[in-house]
Amino acid sequence: MLDARLVLVGLLCAPLLVHAVTWGDEAGGDLGWGEFLEMDNYTIEAADFFAKEGKGSHILLNVYCHGDLLTSRVMGPGEVFVLDDSLHVRVGRIKVEDLIQNQSRAQVWVRSPAFPDLSLILTSDKDSYRGGEKVRLYLKAENFGQVDAEDLHVSITSEDLGLRENLNKGILSSAETWKEGERLPEIDLTAPYLPQPREMDILATATFRGQDDRMFISQAHASFRIDGPLLLHKRVDEAQRFGEMYYVSNVLRNIGNRTLLVRLEDSAGIGFEGSFQPKDLEIRAGESQSVSYQMRARRPGEGQVILPAKASFIWNGERYQVSSESPIVSVYGPFLEVTRQIRPNSVEAGQLLEVSMGVKNTGNRFAGASFHMDTPDGADMVSGRAEERFRLAPGETKTFNYSLRSTRPGKIVLSPISVRFRDVYGHEFQTDVPSTSATVIDKAAAPNSSHSAGLAAEVESAPAAEPASVGSPLTSILYAFMLVSVGYIVFGRFC
């Protein structure tokens, strides 16, 4: 009896009408025991190999649809079978060797019905629009499949724009292109006025039938930007000389359809000098205004980022804000960083102090530099020059060493100094170095290390003996012994 479940699955997986079928490209390969091929919803399994007497080698193929067995076929080399105009199976060479070791293999190729392959392209004539501008969309459809696309219907929709456009074409033949000028109408929109920039998405969906009445779908997307009513651009020279002032210009343009009350706020950032007070502006539709101020960089460096300006306005009772771009500038010039040390921190009068000062050009241009270091009170300069003039390349460091001899007790204070430098354009700068100091100790007030002083210290620090009873003979003997010892030490020292 025929399995009712197999009949039901066969009806679901195959078309009801039988007609001439155009098959698609072939796919396949060598199959061994238990190996399989897949095509669409079908699976073809090599279930067994055997030899028919007088007819050569054969293979048993199981055909499944969605995992359910549809049929089993015994096939020899060169044989073909077609399953309900939905699957084409062909067997090539079969090689049956050692059945125990599963060495047998067969060439199996499968095909499914060819289908229309529709490529859908949707584009706009620009990437961005202003409110009130015309938006033109272009649609193109091309059938790369081997059969015709029938009952072609295209819908173009956008929830953002409230767009719904329907286009129809009876048949798009294989290798045929449907585009503007061939009964495909142009699609024109008007960009709405919006309070802030927004990306708009448009979807084109094509539905069509293949040769077996199967329905197919193809989609394409297009997107573009609609600007808000206020444009803000921040302008400044991209290449600057260190030490010079430069203008920053904020340009505001109202591209909307109403007057805007705008509050402009700006700052160059912590790496720059220059202040800007917020400004309130009234900008009519179609009008532009510019607000400028001056700034300069605090130090040289390439690729320095300036903060964006911000402008806010009211639209239908709600406040909106736009920001400018963040300009990037490169500032060229020298910049010197200076360190100074004195060692040791404390010496006796007459001893040497070593002073070291390092100067590094952390800028990106040559620097001509000079400084003068005064000899501090209470010291004489033993080595080193008080005045220096030198050049430093970008990234170069010079170190200057001095020796000072202390002449009297107290504090030796190295006064603050200014290292002055200039660039090739004559701009002058300076780096200030704070004061630093060392302590000079009076040699006479230093701890005495002589023998008598050491002995006195030993006597003072010696632990006291356990006191004896007052009036006892032992006490008298101890006192006498101590007096004799002290006398011997003192008189023996000076005699």
Q: What integer pLDDT is reported at residue 112 of this predicted model?
A: 85
pLDDT: which is higher, 103 or 236: 236
Angle at 232 (CA atoms; ends 227, 233), nearest 5 degrees: 120
pLDDT of residue 189: 87
For residue 445, what pLDDT band results from cuts at 50, 70 and 90? Answer: low
Predicted local distance difference test score (pLDDT) of residue 52: 75
H or E segment to which residue 471 belongs: none
pLDDT in tens, 118-150: 999 999 999 999 999 999 988 889 999 889 999
Long-range contacts of 469-474 (CB under 8 A, 24+ apart): none
**pLDDT tops 90 at residue 431:** yes
Cβ neighbors of 410 (< 8 A, separation 6 or more) are 378, 439, 440
Q: What is the mean pLDDT of residues 17-43?
A: 80
The pLDDT value given to residue 103: 79
In the structure, what pLDDT confidence band is assigned to residue 56 with cuts at 50, 70 and 90? confident
Mean per-residue pLDDT, 420-448? 87
Which residues is 446 bridged to in the sheet? Answer: none
Judge contact between 145 and 118, C-beta under 8 A: yes
Distance from C-alpha of 92 to C-alpha of 81, rounded to nearest angstrom: 13
Cβ contacts of 298 within 8 Å, gap of 6 or more: 271, 272, 273
pLDDT higher than 60, residue 339: yes
- Spell out the residues 6+ positions from residue 154 whose beta carbon is closer than 8 angstroms to its own: 120, 139, 141, 166, 167, 168, 169, 204, 205, 206
d(C-alpha 325, C-alpha 321), whole Å: 13
Where is pLDDT greater, at 26 or 406?
406
What pTM, to 2 d.p., does this model score?
0.62
Residue 180 pLDDT: 53
- Which of the residue ranges 84-88, 241-245, 328-332, 357-361 would you say has the lowest mean pLDDT? 84-88
**Structure confidence by residue, pLDDT tens digits, 160-215:** 888 898 888 889 998 888 875 555 556 778 999 999 999 999 999 999 998 878 89
Q: Which residues of 466-480 are buried (b: 16+ CB within 10 A; e: fewer)?
A: eeeeeeeeeeeeeee
DSSP type of residue 480 = H
- What 69-74 contacts at long range (C-beta under 8 Å, 24+ apart), as own/partner pairs, is 69/6, 70/6, 70/9, 70/10, 70/13, 71/6, 72/47
pLDDT of residue 468 exceeding 90, the answer is no
Residue-wise pLDDT for 346-392, tens only, equals: 999 999 999 999 999 999 999 999 999 999 999 999 999 989 999 99
Share of the chain above pLDDT 70, in %: 83
9: enclosing H helix or E strand: helix 4-13
Q: What whole-number distance in Å separates Cα of residue 473 and Cα of residue 470?
A: 9
Per-residue pLDDT band for 482 (boundaries 50, 70, 90) equals low
Q: Is the pLDDT of residue 474 over 60?
A: no
